[in-house]
Structure 1
């Protein structure tokens, strides 16, 4: 059987009067839009399908993309005045936005308001943990709240459209843009895609002054670039697209997202920016998408470099016919669409369809009714709003993952002499992470500041950098060793600088840089208890020396409250509750590595290193160093008593799978119980495991709780040989456990329908 088609978004134009016509007669939004389209020249239509970088933008926004020539402030204002520009992005000045909107509404021939957009990836003024870190919280409500806070701040300066969330599934640690997503799992990706869309757009409707139109990106397969190389070709099966890379987009659209962004990559030889099958047949035909598609930054122009288009005019033609409604940064539509229509290469009626989509979204956002409604900077304190900072601190501590805690080295004792060592032990750089265009790093809390605030005597903290992120520091190792000798415990903050992750930051080896490895080895040789805090935007590979540390903590890029969030967890004021949203491999050479890989026809039968003629490497186990879902607490949760009932799931029925978790430790345990399944025999090969549910339980010492999951046949569906969603009767393995490589194991059978 095929799965039901996704529901079209329920977001629609309200149909209410938006502005009287010249005769004073009120018109509906739809009537007004049709009148505008009828009155437009081809050049004005192309202008509505063009978005350019803001002529007035902060330096980080200008540095985040390849060089563009948006023109001077006055040149850009003139383009708006003449109807050649319908949207701009990455400005953050309310005054400039007001000035530009005045030009659009009061000085242009048709008075069509501008649409202001931006890359607000993990916060606007208040910077939250990077999305991958926040995914470690496995908390949809948290993701929704941080997205809502970001939208509240961004809309106050006039921004109405966000180029987020990124919903690409990322399974290769070498790919730098994995830091923007939710990791490797489809269920978690869908869950957080919905939460972030709902957070950005709010609950009061798109016309609300605090609503920010969400843009799930990048359609599609961007996270599957060959070799983990950014912008690289993607050659995956249609089944993989439909099972792995499409679902989060569908979930986001069902949640109300009405724009999406084309991916830079090609898919099976056809670039996404010129792919009618993807943008028309699938997106609009199968999924019923009613919003508009925007190119990525100069993505239409890059069809020339792809080898698909002969020149700029041809690139504009291919992108438009491929289903891209709006051109970003290249200006190709403004330059070439009018002539393409006049020559007959593109039908004007098709251009009208794209213009209508853009104008409908502008109306839905309330821009026709009140073009200045979002321009209210007094709604949000510029850089230091207390309630948002408290949310950032909560998000930070919930994102932290405890990988190892040998001998109970954590939590730290407040009275101890602590040596805080590493390139990220002090300073406000490298805290917020990549893709921060509008937040000021001066407002971030350094790690040493957070530690001092948590200690009984701040004078007992010694701070030594030891080295830089990617280079040595003269005398650094000697100073670090001296500090370690004088300390009771050593905390080392090591890993990646914030410019080592993100767009265009693919790495051939995802290890800690060599100068830091030398520092770690020297400090470890002192013999004091060492806790490594890993600053990163991807899975890292640790050498044996680093793995030997008593404590291992994934500290990611946690945003403005980094120092306080780390101290909250490391000193035990809060339990560590984060879980890995990505697998940490033993070696870079295992990449791409993900827990739900296929079993293969020659699976390893054991973990013995000499087993040959099996799907394994000579040098390492066919496992993760730390698997997806892994994370420890300060308690000791133990799983017992798996129950699968009668072990049969009726075709129209439900099956409850449950287990008991007992905290046998002497501290509170907050455990994330995870449910996985494996289809043991199907018409196409199935993954080793697939996550089908997760739930959190908080247990006092000695306390037990029963976790219960309900399965239906929909949870067992997969894309069959005909590329349609299906489900087949048969036997399944099921696990309830703390990660993707362990847990209590049972079996059940999906029964055939009674009429079969």
Structure 2
């Protein structure tokens, strides 16, 4: 179908039909759904008519080949233009095969596996009738109190941008029209949703345009540069204006400056939320502001269908704005091939073969293992031996709640539990004993007594602790980010037994680990690993896989530090060393400035040394690059993968610059005793930033290059940029 045909359809549509294309409704509204279009309760209060439904442009939450085909069938019989529906859903970190949550994937620093996970998610979703996924979420996050940190890849704009590109490539492929195993991606949440005051979801965001452009916008831009088809607005304000009504953000920046001509969709109810925000007196004004700002689709509220017609007929709003949005929506349907094949690969029989197949589970297991971060391994207690007596204790010992939020198609019964994974490694099943020890947020005397009995006969205790999935994700914000008191009490009881303790943590945010890391011998941060959780955990605990994950978000020493992140400013009164307790410096009286575990941190079962850090020249010019190099040696007894990280600091800028910024990384695998020279090219382009007037350029002057195994443990070498 050619573009002129899209325009021809628009010319033949009534104003009411065009406005209905700008509406997204949940599956129960539609005939052919499992609810057969039977509207009850709050949906009935929305006042959606049959005429609106038969002309609606998209469906929210549709999945399953049979249901999506039935909905599309029923719709096409009633839509006089034969315009197919777009089926959209939140396929965030897997469809039925659930991969680790994005924050965990961020800790893999593995773009190939990230892309592969999105490709598999797209394949399972598309064969189930989904056309668009509301992913990737690329919001930069610095506050672990915010529940949705689990949906981001971390605190660094450079790394987030790399992942944004990888996820878009995985979801969309290179030929979205003809590759029916792919889905259109929708990057979210535009913009700066990850910086709410107080770490509280939906809360106000307040930052300078320079900070916005410097730290928060690059990942969205990277996704769009990779060809991402859609953008979702954020719930929050940007410069005092809700994103969904923010013309400067959506039209001036996104459309005009960046040249994005795809579809913009509101988040759930965000158009109507202009009223409580206080920028619209009524729904008519909310509709006017959202459409003029450039929002094409209103999700799950009715400001558009109730008021756009009267706004157009009164002359307050140009019908051409409605036409523009309809054209973008129909063009996306055209690009997906829906006019030729409105079912686009939805196939019940093939779904049975594809979904949760062995190949997909193998990738999930590999990515889960690479996403876990070893935070502590005192005395080399890990890896475990298959002949050891192990007491597996904790609320996640036999629990399938290991997938995390946004895994709505995943099933607990499909998850490899921790006890199952450990049993598969042991020489004799009798070597493993199991007890809950406590619930996630409560504990009884009987539970503790049983845990003690089980642990008494063991050589080593493995504690499976963490947050239930409801404690994270959207609206899962927490002011106290320690483990629940019941679990801390369990740790104390186990500590009294004097046995080695390994703690495996399942959670969706960096935690305050006091009462954990100081009490146990080893800590493996597993996040929510997904469908293959238990298998991947066992691979790591028994040394079949050497831990290689590195933190993509700092772990605070205390929630009182939050936000705490590695690329902060220095201040005019910096604390030169943690030991310097002079009062009139920028520091706390009662805790360190530094996080408990810094960005980029992670341990291995082997050791790596860094030697001969150098630059090919101490002068960089605009036309020629210089090379940074380091020799990395595996000085341990087993092969391992090391993540070599490059950071740069601009010593004196037009505006204040961070103490260091990630500019590159290399993953290398070394056998015991082997060495490798790792090199990075440094160019003038890497030194550019937004100046006082927001011009993006570099300055001549002094810089420092850092190479190391994390953002804290680095070796520095100075150089100059000469222009």
TM-score by length of 1: 0.92
User: Does the 8 A contact of 1:70 with 1:76 survive in 2?
Assistant: no
| Deviation of 1:319 (Å) | 1.1
| Deviation of 1:77 (Å) | 7.2
Matched, 1:342 2:342: no
Per the alignment, residue 392 of structure 1 pairs with 364
User: Does the 8 A contact of 1:152 with 1:380 survive in 2?
Assistant: no
2:390 to 412, 418, 421: 418
Per the alignment, residue 154 of structure 2 pairs with 183
Matched, 1:574 2:556: no
Please show how residues 379-528 of structure 1 align to structure 2 within 5 Å: 379-381=350-352, 383-428=355-400, 430-528=401-499
Q: Which runs of 5+ in 2 are unaligned?
A: none
Per the alignment, residue 665 of structure 1 pairs with 636
Change (3 A) 1:40 1:534: same
Please show how residues 155-174 of structure 1 align to structure 2 within 5 Å: 155-174=126-145
Query: How many angstroms apart in 2 are the aligned matches of 1:234 and 1:329?
Result: 24
User: Does the 8 A contact of 2:587 with 2:593 survive in 1?
Assistant: yes
Report the RMSD for the aligned CA atoms in angstroms.
1.8
Please show how residues 186-585 of structure 1 align to structure 2 within 5 Å: 186-381=157-352, 383-428=355-400, 430-544=401-515, 546-585=517-556
User: Does the 8 A contact of 1:126 with 1:388 survive in 2?
Assistant: yes
User: Does the 8 A contact of 1:88 with 1:115 survive in 2?
Assistant: yes
Query: How many angstroms apart in 2 are the aligned matches of 1:529 and 1:258?
Result: 51
Query: How many angstroms apart in 2 are the aligned matches of 1:749 and 1:143?
Result: 36
Query: How many angstroms apart in 2 are the aligned matches of 1:544 and 1:467?
Result: 16
Matched, 1:709 2:680: yes
Per the alignment, residue 24 of structure 1 pairs with none
| Deviations 1:672-706 (CA, angstroms, capped at 9, x unpaired) | 00000111111110111100001111111111111
| Deviations 1:346-381 (CA, angstroms, capped at 9, x unpaired) | 100111111111111110110112112222132232
Question: Which one is further off, 335-344 or 128-137?
Answer: 335-344
Query: How many angstroms apart in 2 are the aligned matches of 1:431 and 1:466?
Result: 18
User: Does the 8 A contact of 2:416 with 2:532 survive in 1?
Assistant: yes
User: Does the 8 A contact of 1:294 with 1:327 survive in 2?
Assistant: yes
Query: How many angstroms apart in 2 are the aligned matches of 1:711 and 1:599?
Result: 23
| Deviation of 1:180 (Å) | 0.5
User: Does the 8 A contact of 1:296 with 1:328 survive in 2?
Assistant: yes
| Deviations 1:38-59 (CA, angstroms, capped at 9, x unpaired) | 11111111111111111189xx
Question: Which one is further off, 402-411 or 544-553?
Answer: 544-553
User: Does the 8 A contact of 2:104 with 2:371 survive in 1?
Assistant: yes
Per the alignment, residue 31 of structure 1 pairs with 4
User: Does the 8 A contact of 1:383 with 1:439 survive in 2?
Assistant: no
| Deviation of 1:609 (Å) | 5.8
User: Does the 8 A contact of 2:491 with 2:519 survive in 1?
Assistant: no
Per the alignment, residue 138 of structure 1 pairs with 109
Q: Which runs of 5+ in 1 are unaligned?
A: 1-17, 19-28
| Deviations 1:415-458 (CA, angstroms, capped at 9, x unpaired) | 00011111111121x21111111122210111001000111112
Per the alignment, residue 15 of structure 1 pairs with none
Change (3 A) 1:229 1:419: same
| Deviation of 1:635 (Å) | 0.8
2:19 to 33, 42, 46: 46
| Deviation of 1:197 (Å) | 0.5
| Deviation of 1:113 (Å) | 0.7
Aligned length: 714
Query: How many angstroms apart in 2 are the aligned matches of 1:562 and 1:117?
Result: 27
Q: Secondary structure in 2 aligned to 1:402?
A: strand
Query: How many angstroms apart in 2 are the aligned matches of 1:273 and 1:414?
Result: 56
1:684 to 636, 649, 655: 655
TM-score by length of 2: 0.96
Matched, 1:645 2:612: no
Query: How many angstroms apart in 1 are the aligned matches of 2:501 and 2:403?
Result: 25
User: Does the 8 A contact of 1:639 with 1:743 survive in 2?
Assistant: no
Q: Secondary structure in 2 aligned to 1:320?
A: helix
User: Does the 8 A contact of 2:390 with 2:461 survive in 1?
Assistant: yes
Q: Secondary structure in 1 aligned to 2:663?
A: strand
